[in-house]
């Protein structure tokens, strides 16, 4: 991979989704990965010395900065380096979100499909201005 050495030790916010080249079916996207390996895990394998953090893969770009919702939305993240996740969490907070750390790179297997869920509403209702919120019991 070109520039792989330049990624060593760098924090990389992985916003990608493994969207296949097939059209959505009733609003549901197809992925070219499966539930046993995420695209982020594949990227981490290509550049093992980089610090990938999955984030911003399940929201539209107009809401990425200073989102305007009734409450602060949740940005689900994961990655293998705790310091990188802390760094990205600070960025997420500065952009108006709350970060929810869901663990290591394998958790991207669950975070990437949030894109599918987000897109169903978009495709079926032509509404692209929504986000997710994680609620916890007090």
Q: Which runs of consecutive H residues, i.e. helices, occur in 26-98?
A: 39-46, 82-94
Span 107-127, average pLDDT: 97
For residue 60, is pLDDT > 60? yes
Q: 24 falls in which pLDDT band (50, 70, 90)?
A: very high
Q: Structural domain boundaries of the chain?
A: 53-127
* 3-state SS assignment for residue 117: helix
Q: How far apart (Å, rounded) are the C-alpha atoms in residues 51 and 58?
A: 20
Residues 6+ apart with CB under 8 A from 103: 78
Structure tokens belonging to residue 21: 């080249």
Structure tokens belonging to residue 20: 């296949």
Q: How far apart (Å, rounded) are the C-alpha atoms in residues 26 and 23?
A: 9
Cα separations (Å) of 13 from 10, 44, 57, 79, 106? 10, 12, 10, 10, 15
Q: For position 6, what pLDDT does the model report? A: 86
Residues 6+ apart with CB under 8 A from 56: 13, 15, 64, 75
Q: The pTM is what? A: 0.93
Comparing CA positions, the residue from 116, 134, 121 lying closest to residue 73 is 134
Architecture of domain 53-127: 3-Layer(aba) Sandwich (3.40)
């Amino acid at each position: 991979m070109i520039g792989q050495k330049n990624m060593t030790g760098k924090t990389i916010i992985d916003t990608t989704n493994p969207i296949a080249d097939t059209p959505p079916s009733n609003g549901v996207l197809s992925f070219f990965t499966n539930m046993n390996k995420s695209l982020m895990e594949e990227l981490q394998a290509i550049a093992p010395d980089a610090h990938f953090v999955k984030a911003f893969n399940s929201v539209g770009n107009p809401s990425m900065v200073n989102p305007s919702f009734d409450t602060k939305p949740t940005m689900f993240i994961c990655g293998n380096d705790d310091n990188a996740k802390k760094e990205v969490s600070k960025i997420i907070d500065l952009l108006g979100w709350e970060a929810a750390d869901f663990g290591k790179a394998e958790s991207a297997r669950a975070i990437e499909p949030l894109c599918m869920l987000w897109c169903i509403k978009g495709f079926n209702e032509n509404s692209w201005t929504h986000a997710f919120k994680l609620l916890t019991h007090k």
